[in-house]
Amino acid sequence: MTWDEMQPLLQTATRETLSMVGVATLVALLAGLPLGVLLVLTDRGGLLQSRPVNKAVGAVVNIGRSLPFIVLMLALTSFTRWVVGTSLGWQAATVPLAVGAIPFYARLAETAVREVDGGLVEAVQAMGGSTWTVVRKALLPESLASLVAGLTTTVIAVIGYSAMAGTVGGGGLGTLAYTYGYMRFETDFMVVIVIELVVLVTLVQLAGDLAVRSLGRHGRGDGPVRLLRRRSGSAPAGRPGPAEPAEQPLAAVEG
C-alpha cells in the first residue's frame, strides 16, 4: 500500500481515536474526580465519615477496575446500543472507554487528594469553612498537580484501550492496525500506525509533565489556603497594621 492510499485512512482513523479519547477522558474527569473526593471524605476520619457509603463506592470502583477492557466492552454491548444506537464504530467504543476510565481515574484522584496536608484542612475548618469550602479551597487546589498527573496517566491508558477496541469494530487506529496490518499483512501500514501511537502517547506525556511542573512551581506557596493562613496571622515584625474584623478570614474562605 502506498502512502497516498494510507494517508486518508490514517487521517480518518486519527480523528476517530482522538474523538474517543477526548470524550472518554472528559467523562472520566467529570465523574471520576467527585468519586475520588467522596472516597476521601467518607473514609475513617474524613469530613463526611460514613463507612457504608465508603465501602459501597469503593466496591463499585474496584469492580470497574478489575474487569479487563475487552470483557467490559462485551458486557456493555446492550447498554452501548441503547446509548448511541449501535455497537460498532468509534461512538460505540466511547461508551465502554468512558465507563472503564471513570474508576481508573477515581482511584488516582483519591490518592492525590489524600496527600493534602491535614493542617490545611484544619485551618479552613477553624475559619468556619464548610465541607464544600474545604474541598474547593484546600483539597482540590493543593492536589491539582497530582490530579493532572493522574489525568495524564488516564489519557495514556485510554489511548491503549481505544486501540484494543479497534480489534472488535471500535474504529480508530486499532481497526486499521487489525484490518490492514494484521489481516492483510500490510507490515508497512502496521509500522506507521505503531509510530503514530507512540508519538501520540509521547506528546500527551510531555504535555502532562509540563503542566505538572508548571503547577508545582506556581501553585506551591501561593495557594489560597496559605494566603488565607498568612492573612489571618499576625503582621510582620516592625510593621504593625490595624486589626482586621473577625469576620474577614471567614469571608475570605467562604468567598
Boundaries of every domain in the chain: 15-224
SS3 224: helix
Rounded CA-CA distance 127/132 in Å is 13
The pLDDT, as a whole number, for residue 245 is: 43
Residue scoring higher pLDDT (166 or 73): 73
Extract the runs of DSSP E, i.e. beta strands, from 88-205: none
pLDDT band at residue 198 using 50, 70 and 90 as cut-offs: very high
pLDDT band at residue 185 using 50, 70 and 90 as cut-offs: confident
pTM: 0.80
Residue pair 67/100 in contact (Cβ under 8 Å)? The answer is yes
Rounded CA-CA distance 41/116 in Å is 12
The pLDDT, as a whole number, for residue 103 is: 94
Mean pLDDT for the stretch of residues 228-254? 44
What would the pLDDT profile of 168-178 be if each residue is shown by its tens digit?
777 788 888 87
The pLDDT, as a whole number, for residue 68 is: 85
Mean pLDDT for the stretch of residues 18-44? 93
pLDDT > 90 fraction of the chain, expressed in percent and rounded: 35
Average pLDDT along the chain: 81
pLDDT band at residue 249 using 50, 70 and 90 as cut-offs: very low
What would the pLDDT profile of 126-168 be if each residue is shown by its tens digit?
887 788 888 888 888 888 999 999 999 999 999 988 888 877 7
The pLDDT, as a whole number, for residue 144 is: 92
Residue environment code for 7-34, b if the CB has 16+ CB neighbours within 10 A, otherwise e: eebbeebbebbbbbbebbbebbbebbbe
Q: Cβ-count burial of 78 within 10 angstroms (0-12 exposed, 13-18 middle, 19+ buried)?
A: exposed
Residue scoring higher pLDDT (229 or 97): 97
The domain 15-224 belongs to what CATH superfamily?
A: MetI-like (1.10.3720.10)
Rounded to 10 deg, the angle between the 90-114 and 77-84 helix axes is 110
The grid cell for 192 is 506507521
Min mean pLDDT across 10-14, 57-61, 155-159, 227-231 is at: 227-231
- Give the distance, in angstroms, between the CA of residue 149 and the centroid of all CA atoms in the same chain: 8
Extract the runs of DSSP E, i.e. beta strands, from 19-160: none
pLDDT band at residue 238 using 50, 70 and 90 as cut-offs: very low
The pLDDT, as a whole number, for residue 227 is: 45
Select, from the ranges 48-62, 77-91, 119-133, the one with the highest average predicted confidence (pLDDT).
48-62
